[in-house]
């Protein structure tokens, strides 16, 4: 079974939100920044998307 990048981002965001709760978005942003400092441009962009997905999940949860 193959997992698309979009699915992987969604999975990482959901797991991070479950584990880190209110700190999930900050943790995703910190990881993105670490990767940027290390010169991993692609990893940085992926973790920015994880960050954005976490924020979306948190907003949706607040509306439920």
Indicate whether 12 pLDDT > 90. yes
- 6: Cα separation from own chain's centroid: 11
Domain for residue 12, yes or no? no
Domain for residue 48, yes or no? yes
54 and 25 in contact (C-beta within 8 Å)? yes
Domain for residue 13, yes or no? no
pTM: 0.92
pLDDT of the residue at 5 = 96
Domain for residue 54, yes or no? yes
Domain for residue 5, yes or no? no
pLDDT in tens, 25-55: 999 999 999 999 999 999 999 999 999 999 9
Number of domains in the chain: 1
Domain that holds residue 34: 21-63
Domain for residue 52, yes or no? yes
pLDDT of the residue at 64 = 61
Domain for residue 16, yes or no? no
Domain for residue 4, yes or no? no
Distance linking the first and last C-alpha atoms of the chain: 32
């Amino acid at each position: 079974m193959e997992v698309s990048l979009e699915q992987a981002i969604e999975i990482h965001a959901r797991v991070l939100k479950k584990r880190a709760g209110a700190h999930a978005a900050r943790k995703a942003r910190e990881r993105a920044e670490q990767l940027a400092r290390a010169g991993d441009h692609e990893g940085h962009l992926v973790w920015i998307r994880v960050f954005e997905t976490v924020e979306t999940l948190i907003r949706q949860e607040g509306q439920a």
